[in-house]
Amino acid sequence: MPHPNHLRWAVNCKTWNISETELLTCLQSIQPEECTRIGRFRFRRDAILALTGRLLLRKAVCETLNIPWNEVKLGRTARNKPTVLNILYQSNTPLHTRTGLDTAFDTDEANNIECLTGWQYNVSHHGEYSVLAGEIGRMCGVDVMSLDAQEDIDDFFDLMSPQCSKKEWIEIRSSDCPLEHFYRIWTLKESYIKATGEGLHLDLQKAVFAQDKTCAFDEWGVGVVAMETKFELDGEQRLDWVFEQSYLDANHCVAVGLGPICDELASSNVRERESGKVRVFEHISTQTLLKGLTTVDDSVTLQYARAILRKPWSVHEDLF
């Protein structure tokens, strides 16, 4: 059973040989605008990973807030951060008077309401995995990254040079595994901007991370969660943020960024993190993911599902 104050879920889609009837059921179990967004992906892998993320998010809301599957209302803020509209509409704020699922809520206001009323969730997908992180009483962001090889690391680092500070590049290039170290720093940055919802509005060089140079999977393995990352924002060390780093397997690293604890929910249970409690990602099977699905939009057709399945798996057609 998951801890009542957090969720860490991961689904490996590599072995999911999804049938057209399964895909149709999944597509009918999410909101129409989400289904449309998934259908726009050029490659089948991206569509399946994104769909898995939406299913994880609905499953999390159902289990933590006890809202029936077909009554979960998901939306996005003005900066495109996913949010749970059930929480925003039920809050005692001016947002309660707003109607419509396409309302562009203010990101900071939505973050505050979600933290005050309980849960905040975030999803990410890359490589073979879709992941979800959920936390009660604080902003939450997650990012997963496939540790893809690069033909020319120096050229790749030159291309990505504007994304990291000078201090970070010194740390990356002096590491025993520079590329893997870069990917880990990248997931940390992404987890932060996804937690705050800032996205492209933030200069990534202002969010500076320092971590242990020992970063190889061979020395960590699965199940180890590092929480010693140091974080500076605009030159100021931020001790009110916590970052978790771990590996899902030898080819995927993941980071979770957690903002300041909401004072109204700063109970001993929420603060247990400071006593050394770690959150390890639970690997969820596709069979478990599909349990309890309920139809949200029955207008999705089998032809629509088949069109997605006919798309190439990826740019390289690397079929699983």
223 and 185 in one domain? yes
170 and 114 in one domain? no
| Residue where a domain stops, chosen among 260, 291, 308 | 260
What confidence score (pLDDT) does residue 295 get?
A: 97
Q: Report whether pLDDT(103) > 60.
A: no
| Residue where a domain stops, chosen among 212, 243, 260 | 260
Q: Report whether pLDDT(94) > 60.
A: no
5 and 133 in one domain? yes
Mean pLDDT of the chain: 84
What confidence score (pLDDT) does residue 263 get?
A: 64
The CATH number of whichever domain residue 298 belongs to comes to 3.90.470.20
Q: What share of the chain in percent tops pLDDT 70?
A: 79
130 and 10 in one domain? yes
Q: Report whether pLDDT(308) > 60.
A: yes
- How many other C-beta atoms are found inside a 10 Å radius of the C-beta of residue 59? 22
247 and 183 in one domain? yes
184 and 48 in one domain? no
130 and 276 in one domain? yes
Asked which of 4-13, 108-117, 173-182, 254-263 is least confident by mean pLDDT, the reply is 108-117
Query: At 33, is the pLDDT very low, low, confident or very high (cuts 50, 70, 90)?
Result: very high
149-194 confidence digits (pLDDT tens) = 888 999 999 999 999 999 999 999 998 889 999 999 999 999 999 9
205 and 232 in one domain? yes
Number of domains observed in the structure of the chain: 2
Boundaries of domain holding 226: 139-260
What confidence score (pLDDT) does residue 52 get?
A: 98
Q: Report whether pLDDT(101) > 60.
A: no
35-73 confidence digits (pLDDT tens) = 999 999 999 999 999 999 999 999 999 999 899 999 999
268 and 132 in one domain? yes
76 and 221 in one domain? no
What confidence score (pLDDT) does residue 95 get?
A: 38
187-221 confidence digits (pLDDT tens) = 999 999 999 987 766 788 899 999 865 656 667 77
207 and 96 in one domain? no
Beta bridge partners of 196: none
What confidence score (pLDDT) does residue 97 get?
A: 36
162 and 115 in one domain? no
| Residue where a domain stops, chosen among 245, 260, 275 | 260
